[in-house]
Amino acid sequence: MLWCAQTAAYIGQCHTTQGNPYIGVNFGVKTLDEEENTAGVVKDKFYQWNESNDYYVSCDCDKDNVRSGRWAFAADSPLVYLGDNWYKINDYLAAKVLLQVKGSSPTAVPFENVGTGADTRWHICDPGGQRLGGQGASGNSGSFSLKILQPFVGSVVIPPMALARLFECYNIPAGDSCTTTGTPVLVYYLSGTINSLGSCSVNAGETIEVDLGDVFAANFRVVGHKPLGARTAELAIPVRCNTGNAGLVNVNLSLTATSDPSYPQAIKTSRPGVGVVVTDSQNNIISPAGGTLPLSIPDDADSIRE
C-alpha cells in the first residue's frame, strides 16, 4: 500500500475579517505663519494619533503550531513617493508617516520585514480570525510630519485620501518576513485644512464704491426678491498676491457685514427693509456673516475677480 503525504505551504499573510480597518487621520484646521510657509520647511510630528480600533484578523498559518509563530509587519502608501520617506499630498505639501508597531520604535513608511517579539494569539490562524484592538495594538498609533513643497496663500483643503497602508503577517516558524502584498490590515485616511497667514491686497487697499442706481419704493414688493426695474451691478475687484510661487495661489475672499434682520442673506442698509445681496458669478448668494469666495489666481499679477 502506498501512502501520499502533502504538506501545506503557509505564507503567513493576514487580512481583516470584520471590524473597522480604517483609521481617520483628520488633523482639523491648522495655520502656518509666513516663516513656516516656505519651500523646504518641515513640521515634525505635525499630527499624532492614538486610536483604539477593534477588528478581527485571520492569517494564513498552521493553527496546530500557532505557539511557535511571530508577528511581522510592512507598510506602504498609494501616494507618489518623493524619496527619503516623503510622499506627495498635492502640489504644496508632502507627508512622512511613522507607524507604531508593538515592540518596535515608530517606523517610517515604507518598510518591510519588521518583526516583533512572541505574542501568541490562539485563533489567529482560524478563518474567523482573532480580535485585535485597543490603543496598544500595532498600527493604531502613529504620526506624520509635514513638508512645504511650495508656498501658498489662503487655504489648502485636503479631502479624505489614503495616506498609508499596514500589512501584517504571522510566521510559523518564527520569522520577520512580511511584504506589502495582498490586502492591508489597516488603511489610514488623511484629511484636514491648512491655512497660511500670507497676505493679498484687494483693490490695492482702496475703497470700492458700487452704484446701485435709483429705485422707487413702490417697486419693493416681495421679501428676498429684486424690486421691479432694479439692475444688478457687476463688481470687478483687482486682487494681487505675492508669495514667490510661480503657479496659482489659492485665496478665499471673505464677506463680513451686518445682516438685515428681515432677510439675513442680505446686507443691511440705512433704509429699513432694504438690503443688498452679493452673489458670485454662478449667482450663488455670499452670506454677509463671513461667506467666502474661493479663488485660484496667478501669483504676483493683477487678477480681476467679479
Reduce the DSSP state of residue 188 to 3 states and report it: strand
Instruction: Give me the average pLDDT of each 10-residue run along the chain (306 residues).
Output: 52 91 93 90 95 87 86 96 98 96 88 80 86 76 95 87 95 89 94 82 73 74 76 75 62 82 85 83 85 72 52
Residue extents of the structural domains in the chain: 14-196, 200-305
Closest alpha carbon to 28 in 54, 50, 53, 48:
48
Q: Which residues pair with 19 in a beta bridge?
A: 55
Residues 52 and 135 sit within 8 Å (Cβ to Cβ)? yes
pLDDT of residue 6: 43
Sheet arrangement for strand 55-59: 14-19, 55-59, 130-132
Does this model's pTM top 0.75? My answer is no
Sheet arrangement for strand 200-202: 200-202, 237-241, 303-305
Residues 149 and 39 sit within 8 Å (Cβ to Cβ)? yes
Residues contacting residue 1 through CB under 8 Å, at least 6 positions apart: none
pLDDT of residue 2: 44
Residues 153 and 249 sit within 8 Å (Cβ to Cβ)? yes
What CATH superfamily classification does 14-196 receive? Bacterial adhesins - F17c-type (2.60.40.1410)
Which three cell numbers mark 215? 429705485
Burial class (CB in 10 A: 0-12, 13-18, 19+), 249: buried
Which three cell numbers mark 96? 512622512
Closest alpha carbon to 190 in 167, 154, 153, 156:
156
First to last CA, the chain: 92
pLDDT of residue 133: 73
